[in-house]
Amino acid sequence: MAVPRQLTFAAMRILMVGAGGIGGYFGARLIDAGRDVTFLVRPRRAAQLAERGLVIDSPARGNTHIRNPKTVQADSLRETYDLVMLSCKAYDLDDAMTSLAPAVGPTTAILPLLNGMAHVDALVARFGDERVLGGHCFIASTLADNGDIRHLNANHTLVFGDRHRAETGRIAAIEAQLTNAGFDARRSDDIVQEMWEKWVFIATGAGLTSLMRGSVGEIEAAGGAPLAKALLDDCAAIARDAGHPPSDASYEKSLKTVTAPGSTLTASMFRDIERGGRTEGEHILGDLLRRAKHELPPASLLRAAYTHVATYEVRRG
């Protein structure tokens, strides 16, 4: 594998693709920590940020207000960046890749924070295997109508690593930028395994709360814990077939989370349905289902959850 020339910058130039609930949150924290961040945004979001600034409302982790965040739009993007962080929705990936392409130079590293694995295949095909890192995040946040970002709980973790477990100077340089930056950042030595474990968890939570149209606690109170476990088992079996079985610790943590009594947890997919928006059902549930190497029963919970969300998309389309 060819690795780009080592990054040795004391301070990287970071391009954050998107300034929504994920990109806006982590980007604001990075700016507060003195990092050089520019947001690649669409005209409407650029106008919103110019008028209001970038506002983070986080009761658990503290508020912040970046009054004049640096922004750039696709038609005026000319410079290359050291690190491109990708925080768009999966259904916007094709447009995002076209928009960010001018920012990718000989030493640029691309760090996607999307769920699933299909985006990695697309990014590698477009920009080359050596440029694409692995990453994921744990955060519950949403974009209010006025453009402010609401942080819904205390979680704000970002995990990153080289997909081939290579020890390179660029990973160390990125680690220096992302750690001690106002959120929990961690370098992983087996990021692909962690991405699969996150996918199993997020597909279970998204499928469960979208299918049942309620929070984890409400579903548990209605007697739905066995269904939550059945859905988790469907997802874990596919990961096992792919060579990335969830660890015992990861499985038990996921099971505890999706069956917790009184939990107010809902997936962003369910919240998208509630507001009548587009979902990532095809990318999180559908792609996982297509990767199954054993035939799931016609009435499997994963198949039911995917069909439920797909039917919703047919109706809204």
Catalytic residues: 198
Contact criterion met (CB below 8 Å) for 145 and 169: no
* Alpha carbons within 13 A on the beta-carbon side of 184: 10
Those residues whose C-beta lies under 8 Å from the C-beta of residue 180, and which sit 6 or more positions away, are 33
Distance in angstroms (rounded) separating the CA atoms of residues 294 and 35 = 47
Distance in angstroms (rounded) separating the CA atoms of residues 199 and 285 = 9
Contact criterion met (CB below 8 Å) for 183 and 156: yes
User: CA angle 56-95-170, nearest 5°?
Assistant: 70
Contact criterion met (CB below 8 Å) for 174 and 111: yes
Contact criterion met (CB below 8 Å) for 25 and 142: no
Among 35, 23, 32, 15, smallest CA distance to 175 is for 35
CA distances from 130 to 101, 113, 163 (A): 15, 17, 9
Among 107, 122, 92, 115, smallest CA distance to 18 is for 92
H-assigned helices in the chain: 23-32, 43-52, 93-100, 118-127, 169-178, 191-212, 216-221, 225-241, 248-258, 268-274, 281, 287-290, 301-316
Distance in angstroms (rounded) separating the CA atoms of residues 23 and 146 = 16
